[in-house]
Amino acid sequence: MFIICARIRIRNQLFSVRQKWASELKRHCPTVPVILVGVKDNYSDQGDKDRGVQGPTRGHRVEVDHGRQVARDVDALKYLECDLVSKEGLDAVFLEVSRPARPIFGSQAAHR
């Protein structure tokens, strides 16, 4: 499984998901499932200012519905969000990514 991460404070990141990352994965690994993760990082504000990022790319949080729509557009299994500072939503990301492996490892553990 692949995880495509995009900062939700920068709208252009989702454009990159559509135009670059999803198409690359479809071309090279068409049968591998993908999850799209919107990442909130509170440290980015000062870094964006330092790099001169402004206008529509900075400070306009991507709405959950928009993230879900992009996930559907790129045939991702799911759209999730997590916060790098508070770790909120991080467990859900790891649970979702590990879901396909659970039956395999669960059956092996039962045979031990």
Q: For residue 28, give both structure tokens.
A: 């090279």
pLDDT in tens, 26-57: 999 999 999 999 998 766 555 555 555 544 44
Please tell me the CATH superfamily of domain 2-110, with its number. Answer: P-loop containing nucleotide triphosphate hydrolases (3.40.50.300)
What residues of the chain score a pLDDT lower than 50?
54-58, 109-112
How many angstroms separate the CA atoms of 93 and 105, rounded? Answer: 18
| Predicted local distance difference test score (pLDDT) of residue 104 | 57
- Angstrom distance (rounded) from CA 49 to CA 21: 26
Q: What is the pLDDT of residue 108?
A: 52
Alpha helices by DSSP H, listed for 62-101, are 64-73, 90-98
The reported pTM is: 0.74
| Domain-wise residue ranges, the chain | 2-110
Q: Identify the residue whose tokens are 């529509």.
A: 56
What's residue 35's pLDDT? 94
